[in-house]
Chain A
Amino acid sequence: MIEMNLKSGFALTFDSLYIGGGTPSVFGAETIGRIIEAAHRSFNILKDAEITLEVNPDTITPEKLEGFRRGGVNRINIGVQSYNPENLNFLGRLHSDSDADLAGKWAREAGFENICLDLIYGIPGQTKKAWVADLERALSFAPEHLSCYLLTYEPGTPLDASRQKGRFHPLNDDKISDLFTSTIEFLAARGYAQYEMSNFARIDSDNTEKPGFEQNRSRHNRKYWLFTPYLGLGPTSHSFKEPERFWNQPDVPDYINELAAGRLPPSGREMLSRSQLMMEAIYLGLRQTEGIRTEAFEEKFAVDFQRQFSDTLEGLEEKGLIRSTQNRCALTHKGMLFLDSIVPLLVNQI
């Protein structure tokens, strides 16, 4: 809250507030309420702003959820990860599968009309059948939004260490791509449209252009991909206001001490050059199903998109990995699987 005060000069109107990273749901409803209140005092937050709280199934009760809602939270993001006890154990999660079931149920009962579930898949040994069963269970209370993340082994994590020691065998490429495709197909059949690599929103009518779908997409997440300004508070948090990105350092004691002394905590920043912005626009654009908005891209960077990338685009289109239309350039389903290989090809054309 001190940081909010110190940064209150950030001249922006906010249409979303996201309280997450770590497990903010360990705090009581009162604390969360105070945070939201303080945010309102320091910043110009719109009345109908999306206010999301990240919660873990093992830290909530119906009463707490009720309290969050009264405190101003209108969107709840539940870190379910999996409904399979073995997988939960593998992922080092503290909740059980029934905790996960209850979390969704309680959130609805507490009156939340915008619920998002985080799921992880591509876990060693996971079959398509098992994963679809997970999805099925997630859909049982019709969440508005799903984030389905493929398991990654980040260097330096205990998980990666055990992988390196050979304690388990990660799924191979083909299995992973099967799961990835099945996810998109299964969810589509059940009325969820993919709008980003790992994010799906419920379609409330049979037309994806209708407000239902738009509404259900995470307003917050999309800011990262659309170059919209955002402000992050708390250790490690990132902020962006083109062409600058800045962030707080991860050290928590430092962070607290500096704020206690009335100073902004240690931070880093980067000014993005034109070509860096271009790289990000390509990468982030291709993560989204709507793709790179080529007209906007051309306007922003004063280049002819087709001409600049023609050599690469032709080959990729021929192979059915990319689809270009009048003013969009997007990966196909197949292309999405190769995102990290395709992006360097385009980036090298800059």
Chain B
Amino acid sequence: MINIRNFSIIAHIDHGKSTLSDRLIQATNVVLDRDFQDQILDTMDIERERGITIKSQTICLPYTAKDNQTYMLNLIDTPGHVDFTYEVSRALASCEGALLLIDASQGVEAQTLANLYLAMEHNLKIIPVINKIDLPSADVERIKQQIEDDLGLDPESAILTSAKEGTGIEEVLESIVKDLPPPAGDPEAPLKALIFDSHYDPYRGTVVNFRVFQGRVQAKDVVTFMSNDVAHKVEEVGIFQIVRVPQKQLSAGQVGYLIAGIKTVSDTRCGDTITLRDRPCSASMPGFKEAKPVVFSSIYPVATDGYEELAVGLEKLKLNDASLIYEKDTSVALGFGFRCGFLGLLHLEVVQERLEREYGLSLIMTAPSVRYQLIMNDGSTLIIDNPSLYPDPTKIQTTMEPFIRASIIIPDRYMGPVMKLCLDRRGSNTNYQYLTSSRLEMFFELPLAEVVYDFYDKLKSITKGYGSFDYELKDYKETDLAKLDILINGERVDALSQLVHKDRAVERAKRACEKLRDEIPRQQFKIAVQGAVGGNIIARKTISAFRKDVTAKCYGGDVTRKRKLLEKQKKGKKRMKMVGQVMIPQSAFMSVLKTDTD
């Protein structure tokens, strides 16, 4: 056991975690050169396309160190995006150490700090790594200063790497062996293992990722998951080396997987403790805090008969994504669907894309909403995240909305614009601190509803890419809410309703109408798009009817030209759904939240 090291690679988004993982994998020859591809641990199409990690990945690397001993290094590559912090914290629970990467030109950013704090909560040993030193804009001295000042770590312990060019890789491996503690835990004690992830294999059922803290487990053992006491007979245990490599047994300190013919989701819960039925351990692991969804949106199939397929798709996806929650929902306009909770907007997009890609579905997502608390006149409390369930406002005594504490790190020259952005979003500045002489960490309290949509993009653009942002949910505060309805040709389309702050209602209504006017194609009749609160119309736009329009000639090259035009018009609108008499493109439902004019 002395020869095992368990560690995660953590960092702000894009600082090079997956690329460094690549180099470590190659240095330990786990993958044949001809089978290698960049960011090999990013296996999903959507990860490869977007160049980001969404799901943590585990890999076991055998490494013969300078001391001539061979070590099993269990690496977990984690996502950097704030929506997936939950993935990181689960990964950290199975490690003794972490490599904290810092981009040599970007420096410490919001998730660098957030992930450092997470690692410290788990009492992990941290090795700072300054990556991308090959970049012309790399400034190692400045970063070392930040490591000392912002992170409170020893800058001299930082390893310099270029994951891209493969420099510093051996130092990293040696440091993992020398500086990270080996796992503790008695292999002879009763089995105690922590489930930190799971995914679904259509042939084998649920594949459970776990870390053994004490005891051992092997095929044919009968194990129970302590939260529900259901017993499973283990079919196979093993380690991950891109593919699953079966092992005779896994014992204290090791990280690997287990297959036990588990076919239903509810049986496997991340954070649960695995033990032996006939020789249970005394206490379960502390487990994880539930992943709390922060935005909610309804998903409907475009095809009228697509509900069943959607239900199956969601259930399967849930097996790979424990943080997704959903329940049945109905809409007058769109029929049967599901109300889903997400960890953030990126998570929502990922779920949508995976459902469309992996399950071949065509979907409509409604505008995301946060979760409000309504204290009713009769003293009862109503929790609501779905505009269509918003009650008669005269029966509401007080409305509470969720606030976050945001930490924003910026070069100080952007202080003014960032302040303005946050105040515009109904935020209040609580305080700020200089990290170094020209970098600032600002703290704001902001309504969650104001940041879910495009806050991060806005922040990035006003700070020319230098600003970074992290947040945690804080508490609920009293607010003034209104339900903004959208009427199309006089008919309320429930799937387009949204809950907005009263002061924002008119402006939001105007924007929503404008967006819809641009999204909905002309049809054979004039279409009125109206925004209304209660019975009052507060905004209106009109989509004029079809223009009489005939392209006279169409030969040879005209065909290409015309098709290109059609492609341009179609782009992003995807399919359309008939709502009442009007065809509404998929994209329109989300567009009502967009605040940009583009």
A residues touching B (Cβ–Cβ < 8 Å)? 149-152, 173-174, 176-177, 180, 197-198, 221, 224-225, 232, 236-238, 245, 247, 270, 276, 279-280, 283-284, 287, 311-312, 314-316, 319, 321, 336-345, 347-350
The 3 closest A-B CB pairs, nearest first, are A238-B556, A341-B546, A340-B549
Give every chain A residue within 8 A of B576 (Cβ-Cβ). Answer: 311-312, 345, 348-349
Give every chain A residue within 8 A of B548 (Cβ-Cβ). Answer: 173-174, 176-177, 337-338
Complex Cα spacing A300 to B228, Å: 53
Nearest B residue to A20 by beta-carbon distance?
B555
Determine if B585 is an interface residue (Cβ-Cβ < 8 Å). yes
Give every chain B residue within 8 A of A311 (Cβ-Cβ). Answer: 576-578, 583
CB-based contact B549/A279 at 8 Å:
no
CB-based contact A238/B554 at 8 Å:
no
CB-based contact B557/A238 at 8 Å:
yes
Complex Cα spacing A208 to B1, Å: 89
B300, chain A: closest CB distance, angstroms: 14
Nearest A residue to B553 by beta-carbon distance?
A149
Within the complex, which residue of A224, A225, A348 is in contact with B573, where a contact is CB–CB below 8 Å?
A348
Q: Known pairs A173-B548, A315-B523. 12 more at Cβ < 8 A?
A: A152-B552, A174-B548, A177-B548, A283-B563, A338-B524, A339-B549, A341-B549, A344-B521, A347-B569, A348-B569, A348-B574, A350-B570
Contacts A315-B581, A348-B575; A237 near B566 (Cβ below 8 A) = no
In this complex, how many residues of chain B approach chain A with their Cβ under 8 Å: the count is 34
CB-based contact B555/A340 at 8 Å:
no
Determine if B248 is an interface residue (Cβ-Cβ < 8 Å). no
CB-based contact A221/B555 at 8 Å:
yes
CB-based contact B551/A152 at 8 Å:
yes
Give every chain A residue within 8 A of B555 (Cβ-Cβ). Answer: 221, 224
CB-based contact B550/A150 at 8 Å:
yes
Give every chain B residue within 8 A of A340 (Cβ-Cβ). Answer: 547, 549-551
Determine if B462 is an interface residue (Cβ-Cβ < 8 Å). no
Q: Show 10 A/B contacts (Cβ-Cβ < 8 Å), sorted by A.
A: A152-B551, A197-B550, A197-B551, A238-B560, A315-B583, A338-B547, A340-B547, A340-B551, A341-B522, A350-B570
Give every chain A residue within 8 A of B560 (Cβ-Cβ). Answer: 238, 245, 270
A175, chain B: closest CB distance, angstroms: 10
Give every chain A residue within 8 A of B559 (Cβ-Cβ). Answer: 224, 245, 280, 283-284
Contacts A312-B583, A345-B583; A247 near B547 (Cβ below 8 A) = no
CB-based contact B521/A348 at 8 Å:
yes
Residues 552 to 598 of chain B near chain A (Cβ within 8 Å): 552-557, 559-560, 562-563, 566-567, 569-570, 573-578, 581, 583, 585
Within the complex, which residue of A174, A247, A347 is in contact with B556, where a contact is CB–CB below 8 Å?
A247
Give every chain B residue within 8 A of A238 (Cβ-Cβ). Answer: 556-557, 560
Nearest B residue to A230 by beta-carbon distance?
B556
Give every chain B residue within 8 A of A149 (Cβ-Cβ). Answer: 552-553
Nearest B residue to A18 by beta-carbon distance?
B555
Complex Cα spacing A287 to B550, Å: 9
Kindly name the residue among A150, A284, A340 whose own CB sees the greatest number of chain B CB atoms within 10 A. A340
Complex Cα spacing A314 to B551, Å: 24
Give every chain A residue within 8 A of B574 (Cβ-Cβ). Answer: 348
Complex Cα spacing A173 to B522, Å: 16
CB-based contact B547/A341 at 8 Å:
yes
CB-based contact B562/A345 at 8 Å:
no
Give every chain B residue within 8 A of A280 (Cβ-Cβ). Answer: 559, 563
Give every chain A residue within 8 A of B557 (Cβ-Cβ). Answer: 236, 238, 247
B211, chain A: closest CB distance, angstroms: 46
Within the complex, which residue of B566, B581, B585 is in contact with A343, where a contact is CB–CB below 8 Å?
B566
Give every chain B residue within 8 A of A350 (Cβ-Cβ). Answer: 570, 575
A221, chain B: closest CB distance, angstroms: 7
Give every chain A residue within 8 A of B578 (Cβ-Cβ). Answer: 311-312, 314-315
Within the complex, which residue of B546, B553, B583, B585 is in contact with A338, where a contact is CB–CB below 8 Å?
B546
Give every chain A residue within 8 A of B547 (Cβ-Cβ). Answer: 173, 338, 340-341
CB-based contact B552/A279 at 8 Å:
no
CB-based contact B570/A347 at 8 Å:
yes
Within the complex, which residue of A237, A284, A337, A347 is in contact with B550, where a contact is CB–CB below 8 Å?
A337
Complex Cα spacing A287 to B554, Å: 9
CB-based contact A225/B554 at 8 Å:
yes
Contacts A238-B557, A247-B556, A280-B563; A348 near B550 (Cβ below 8 A) = no
Give every chain A residue within 8 A of B581 (Cβ-Cβ). Answer: 315
Binary A-proximity of B445-488 (CB < 8 A = 1, otherwise 0):
00000000000000000000000000000000000000000000
Give every chain B residue within 8 A of A224 (Cβ-Cβ). Answer: 554-556, 559
B488, chain A: closest CB distance, angstroms: 14
CB-based contact A344/B570 at 8 Å:
yes
Give every chain B residue within 8 A of A236 (Cβ-Cβ). Answer: 557
Complex Cα spacing A1 to B380, Å: 88
Give every chain B residue within 8 A of A283 (Cβ-Cβ). Answer: 554, 559, 562-563, 566
Give every chain B residue within 8 A of A150 (Cβ-Cβ). Answer: 550, 552
Complex Cα spacing A311 to B570, Å: 16
Contacts A236-B557, A315-B583; A345 near B551 (Cβ below 8 A) = no
CB-based contact A279/B524 at 8 Å:
no
Nearest B residue to A224 by beta-carbon distance?
B555
